[in-house]
Every structure is written in C-alpha cells, then in structure tokens.
C-alpha cells in the first residue's frame, strides 16, 4: 500500500513542508529508514539522524528547529510520537478491515451470533450462545467458551482462550496466548493437610479500549467478576488473580502479579516484576517502581512506591543514601568509642 504525504497529513492533522505528492510504502526508524519509507522524530537523542536519514517523509514536532535543509517532505504536528501512533493505528485498522469471512476448518455453534464484517480464522472454536459484535477479528486457534460476549471492533490474536460467560466490551485487543477466565487459585485447607478446590463460578468483565499483551492470565472471580476497567493497558506475562479490579487507564508492565481481591484505582502505573498481595486497595494515580513488593493498602493518591516491601519513593532514596554511607558511619562510631574510652580513663586518673 502506498500513501502520499497529503493523505498522511490529513490523518494526523499536520502541516506539510515540501512536496505533498511524495509517497511512502512502509515505515522505518529514522536512523535506518530508506527512500519510500516514513519516519518520525520525537526524541532529541536521535536528532543527528534527521540529517542523514533517507526517509521520504518525516513527522516532526512543530517546535523542532532545522540546522540545515532536508530533502524529505516534512509533516509538522504538535506531538510527533502521538501522531505516529495515530497513523499506525489507522494503518492497522486498514489492514484488519481486509480480513473477513470464515476459514476452514473451524467450529461455530449453531446458536452463536456473529456481527457484520467478522473474521474467523482456521481452527477457531466458537461455543454455544456466543455473541460477537461488528468487525470482530478472531484469529486462528482462538477458543471462545459458551455464552462469551464480545463487542464491536475487537481483535483476538492467535491462541487466545476465553472461558465461558466472560464479557468483553468494544475496541479490545488481546494478544497471542492469553487466557481470560481460567479458574482463580482457590483451595480450602483441610484438617488432614489436603486442599479442597473452591469452585470459581464468577466471570471476567473487560471494558472498552483495553489492550492485553501475550501470555497473560486473567482469572475468573470466585463469585462476581474480575474487572478490567476502560482504557487499561496490560503488558505481556501478567497474572491477574480472581476478583481483582483494575481501574480506568491503568498500565501494568510485564511479569507483574496481582493477588486475589485487590483493587487498583484509576491511572495506576506499575513497573515490571511487581508483586501485589491480595485483599488490599491501591489509590488512584499510584506509581509503583519495577521489582517492588506491595504488602499493604496505599491510601494516598499519587503516591510513588519502590522496594520490597514497598515504601514511599522519597523516603527510600534517603534510606539508600544512608545505607551507602554505613561503612563510613561505622568507622566514625569506632573512632568515637576509642575517644570515649580515652576520656573515661583520663577522668579516672584525675
């Protein structure tokens, strides 16, 4: 597919400097892009490549100055990174729209309802009373259990498994290998040392505009629902336990685990490899640094935590500074002990 600079500028609402008829057929990083490719510059760290790149069209911030003329056609926007993301989304939507129909072999229950412009890939399984909205793309080897409901404009990548009774909203993307609605980790200890399984009879509810990375596990609730609220973004390899609630527009990086019945507020940001215990609440706007362990509720909004167990970020930095100075402090304490002994000895002689 080819696009002109004029078409691109219309999509991202930018202003053109140069030839509006310049065409591109693919994307490239500014340090590697070749003729016929589109690149963008948002990070000043890469500014030097602006004058060596072979890209035909470059998206730049409005305030980006030029030290010398460029051969490429420029499209200026308020935020180059955001504009590039918008363009990629439009490109992905265009490609996805070309996928329609039902590939074989696949299984679709007679009671299932498929919306307009659907795509069902080979070896997919769609169970009884499943409801799909418009423009839903089901890639190969996806499993949808009985009574699953999915809204409009959703994409399920290869190997996604969604267990029975789970409900998804609109404009949701779930990447390969993720499991939605598996049993929560519920086992009751018995007097003889064994464990009795507690049936998990709830479901998972995912609201609009959520994106979930590959190989994640979102467990169904014991009773009620595990809920991922609108606009949340989850990285790869994340475990969300039963009855967890994740607030709107929260983001969670890879290898994080959230234990059962914990409630994350809105706009929470969690770094990679964070562990959060169960049955606590995390206030709105909280930021948790990578590899932190959160063991109690966070009640103050916009808190910044780090460490394991996690503490206030500023206090932790002060503690780390003191810790680094411990050898010098130990030396000074030893010197003071010697001085005190000398003073006591002189006092006894007097």
* DSSP, residue by residue, 8-28: HHHHHT-EEES-TT-EE-EE-
Report the CATH number that the domain containing residue 270 is assigned in CATH.
2.160.10.10
Q: How many CB atoms are located within 10 Å of the residue 348 CB?
A: 7
Name the least confident of 148-157, 262-271, 315-324: 315-324
pLDDT band at 311 (very low <50, low <70, confident <90, very high): low
Residue 146 lies in a domain: no
| Residue 45 and residue 82 in one domain | yes
Q: Are residues 251 and 166 located together in one domain of the fold? A: yes
Q: How far apart are CA 41 and CA 79, in angstroms?
A: 10
Measured in whole angstroms, the distance separating CA 310 from the mean position of its chain's CA atoms is 21
What are the start-end ranges of the H helices in the chain? 5-12, 80-97, 313-324, 326-349
Within a domain: 124: no
More confident of the two residues 116 and 316 = 116
pLDDT of residue 154: 97
What domain range includes position 15? 3-97
Catalytic residue, chosen from 118, 141, 157, 242, is 242
Q: Choose the final residue of a domain: 97, 117, 134.
A: 97
Q: 119 is written with which tokens?
A: 């795509």
Whether residue 80 has pLDDT greater than 80: yes
- Beta-carbon neighbour count of residue 144 at 10 Å? 29
Query: What confidence score (pLDDT) does residue 97 get?
Result: 63
Identify whether the C-beta of residue 293 lies closer than 8 Å to the C-beta of residue 306.
no
The enclosing domain of 43 has a CATH number of: 3.40.1390.10
Name the pLDDT band for 326 (thresholds 50, 70, 90). confident
Question: Is the same domain home to 251 and 229?
Answer: yes
Q: What is the pLDDT of residues 197-237, one digit of tens each?
A: 999 999 999 999 999 999 999 999 999 999 999 999 999 99
User: Does residue 34 lie within any of the structural domains?
Assistant: yes
270 with 333, same domain?
A: no
Nearest residue to 214 (alpha-carbon basis) of 175, 242, 253, 185: 175
23 is a domain residue: yes
pLDDT of residue 324: 80
Taking 70 as the threshold, does the pLDDT of residue 309 lie above it? Answer: yes
Examine residue 80 and state whether it is found in any structural domain, yes or no: yes
**End-of-domain residue from the set 97, 115, 131:** 97
The reply to whether 172 and 237 lie within a common domain is yes
If asked whether residues 331 and 236 sit together in one domain, one would say no
Instruction: Quick: pLDDT tens for 13-35.
Output: 999 999 999 999 999 999 999 99
**Token pair of 98, please?**
């070309």
Are both 185 and 279 inside the same structural domain? yes
Q: pTM for the complete prediction?
A: 0.80
196 plus 329 within the same structural domain: no
Same domain, 194 and 75: no
What pLDDT shows up at residue 235? 98
Q: Is the peptide bond before 201 cis (omega within 30 degrees of 0)?
A: no
Residue 238 has pLDDT above 80, yes or no: yes
pLDDT at 327: 84
Residues 169 and 259 in one domain: yes
Question: Does the pLDDT value for residue 73 go beyond 90?
Answer: yes
How many Cβ atoms sit within 10 Å of the Cβ of residue 29?
13
Q: Residue with structure tokens 């467990």?
A: 219
The mean predicted confidence, pLDDT, of the chain is 94
Would you say residue 173 lies in a domain?
yes
What pLDDT is stored for residue 98 in this prediction?
A: 74
Q: Is residue 294 part of a domain?
A: yes
Q: What values do phi and psi take at 259, rounded to 5?
A: -80, 170
Instruction: Establish whether 242 is a catalytic residue.
Output: yes
Asked whether residue 112 is domain-assigned, the answer is no
Tokens standing for residue 261: 């019945």
Q: Which tokens is 129 given?
A: 């009373």
Which of 75, 97, 119 terminates a domain? The answer is: 97
pLDDT confidence of residue 318 = 74
What six digits make up the tokens of 128?
């009884």
Q: Model confidence over 87-132: pLDDT tens digits?
A: 988 888 777 667 889 999 999 999 999 999 999 999 999 999 999 9
Q: 174 pLDDT exceeds 80?
A: yes
The whole-number pLDDT of residue 96 equals 65
**Number of domains the chain is built from:** 3
Decide: 256 and 234 in contact? Cβ < 8 Å: no
Residues 246 and 327 occupy one common structural domain: no
305 and 336 within one domain: no
Question: For residues 94 and 287, what is the distance between their CA atoms, to the nearest angstrom?
Answer: 35
Give percent above pLDDT 70 in the chain: 98
């Amino acid at each position: 597919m080819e696009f002109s600079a004029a078409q691109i500028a219309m999509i991202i609402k930018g202003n053109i400097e140069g030839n509006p008829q310049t065409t591109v057929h693919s994307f490239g990083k500014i340090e590697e892009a070749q003729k016929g490719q589109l690149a963008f510059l948002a990070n000043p760290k890469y500014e030097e490549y602006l004058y060596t790149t072979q890209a035909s069209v470059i998206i730049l911030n409005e305030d980006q100055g030029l030290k010398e003329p460029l051969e490429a056609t420029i499209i200026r926007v308020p935020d180059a990174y955001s504009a590039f993301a918008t363009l990629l989304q439009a490109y992905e939507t265009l490609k996805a729209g070309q996928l329609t129909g039902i590939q074989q072999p696949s299984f679709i229950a007679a009671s299932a309802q498929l919306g307009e412009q659907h795509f069902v890939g080979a070896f997919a399984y769609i169970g009884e009373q499943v409801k799909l909205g418009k423009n839903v793309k089901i890639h190969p080897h996806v499993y949808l259990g009985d009574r699953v409901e999915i809204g409009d404009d959703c994409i399920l990548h290869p190997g996604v498994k969604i267990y029975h009774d789970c409900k998804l909203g609109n404009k949701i993307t779930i990447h390969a290998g993720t499991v939605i609605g598996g049993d929560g980790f519920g086992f009751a200890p018995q007097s003889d040392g064994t464990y009795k399984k507690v049936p998990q009879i709830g479901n998972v509810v995912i609201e609009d505009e959520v994106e979930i990375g590959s190989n994640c596990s979102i467990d169904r609730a014991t009773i009620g629902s595990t809920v991922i609220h609108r606009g949340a973004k989850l990285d790869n390899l994340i475990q969300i336990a039963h009855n967890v609630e994740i607030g709107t527009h929260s983001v969670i990086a890879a290898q994080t685990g959230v234990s059962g019945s914990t409630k994350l507020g809105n706009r929470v940001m969690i770094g990679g490899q964070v562990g959060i215990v169960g049955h606590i609440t995390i206030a709105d706007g909280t930021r948790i640094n990578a590899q932190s362990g959160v063991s109690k509720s966070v009640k103050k909004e916009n808190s910044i935590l780090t460490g394991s167990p996690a503490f206030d970020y500023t206090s932790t930095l002060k503690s780390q500074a003191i810790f680094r100075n411990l050898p010098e402090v130990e030396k000074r304490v030893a010197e003071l002990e010697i001085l005190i002994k000398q003073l006591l000895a002189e006092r006894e002689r007097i």
